[in-house]
Structure 1
Amino acid sequence: MSLGKELLLEKIFSKVDQIPTFPKAAQRALELLKDENVDYRKLEEVIKTDPGIAANFLKIVNSALYALPRKVESIAQAFLYLGVDQIKFILLSAVIGKYFDKEMIGYGVSAKTIWLHSIACGIAGELLARKIGASESFMERVYLACLLHDIGKIVLDLYTKIEVEHFKNTIKENPEWTFMQVEWLVLGVDHGLVGAELLKRWEFPEDVVFSVRAHHDDSLMVQRKLSAIVALANAVANLIGFYSGIDSFYYSLHDDLLKLLGIKPDELEKLCEITLEKSLLIERELI
């Protein structure tokens, strides 16, 4: 990274008073879930220490996506019906709901809309990862990177206090540009780079940090399978109508992503259908 970019990132993070931190409850819960013999009683206690995460967890688990035989009233009850991967996905989706808790004025997107976009991206990412036979440890990184890929928007929205009209006007003046280019012109940085810096400060795995950095960069996204999955999953979420803000309309699908992951056009179409179906089942509970 160039010195200029490093200085700008330092300036951004030093000026934002409300830089989010990754919840200790979520960190501890993920550690407990790595144990082959998960202590579910302890796991419940840890999640319940963060009321926001616990409430979101129950909202998601009671959605039609999981089709439980009855509504669960406690996290302990939920564990009876869920596998470890499902718990990880729901936990991280619940964490994201805590961050995306207010409208992002600069990006022209409501809290609920970008939360649902992140979940849709996570669903698509999981489907893609399973298709390529991902390991359990790789799957956790897919969840992290997909669900947190737009976290940089929170920091930029806090830092810039920009109005969405700034983006709209720049897009009109430069219709051939990608939104990442527009971000660089308006802000001097893009949300992928800022999100990656935040995850680096949270000490997340390097490939998760890289994938968040790369999810809109055509030259970077094809360098690793995880970054390719995140970029393609993000594109799928936008294609099916689960948008992440004004920028959703100004990105194109990189053909090399399909080649790298071995996805045929008809398989992509099917992936979009399944992601849409699953995302709609969650949306009904979160509205």
Structure 2
Amino acid sequence: MSNIRSRKPIPPHHRPGTTPPFHRDSETAERSDHRRKRSTSRADPWQHMVDTYAWVEHHCSPPITRGKTTEEWVLEQQSVPRSHRGVWDGMLFAYDDESWRRMREEEQIRLAAAEKAKQRARIIDEKLRDIESRIRHRREVEKERLAAERWQASEERKERDRIERERTNQATRDAWRRYEKGWEDIARCPDRPISFSTIPWPLASMPKRSNLDEITANDIGFFLLSPLHSEGQAAKERIRRAQLIWHPDRFQKVLGRVTAADKTSVETGAGIVARCLNDLMARETGKARR
């Protein structure tokens, strides 16, 4: 190592592998001179390079260190005149400037990408809110439509029920008028023959001769005790009036005028009516005792 230090420095332009000076523009030269002035205050700006063999091997080998060890090349660089040191110093600071410039560019790119991501997220969020708003509006419209349809269906059902109830009531009134008129006609014309269909049965509709089981106490009670006729008469009074007509002993006079073809059916049906009237009277009597 002592022999290496005592060697006479080789002129810069004769040193093999030494990088020649490069052309600098005015801005780069000014920045390099300024940094070189700051670095002259140090004891030896190249002293730290003695220990950076890896840096030398990476950046300067093989062209610069051709035929030399790293220690020899570093010692040669220590003897380089200050003008040449300024070149190297400028190269280093230019490298630093380039690094900082790239770092700033990367930071700007990163910030721009982040801003774009925020803007994209904001646009997506606005679109999602708009979609949710439209969905809520559609749901509200659909809800109102369903409510209107339910209300309309309810009103239509009420109207149908009202019409059906009115029709039933009118049918009951008409049946009661036919019932009373039928017995009046039978009493007024004692010689006229009577058939099954001309008997005024105490029902809202005419029973079938082939199916006398249709005559029930409930149907007779619905007809006789309806509030649509005989206003002011109590239920027991209505039943008693019907019993005076359908009692088997009293009904024999009517049965004698029935045609032979219908006599059996009329007699059977009259017996069913009489029993149903007795059941209705028993019910009303039981209600009165409670």
Taking structure 1 as the reference length, the TM-score comes to 0.19
Higher relative contact order structure (alpha carbons within 8 Å, sequence separation ≥ 6): 1
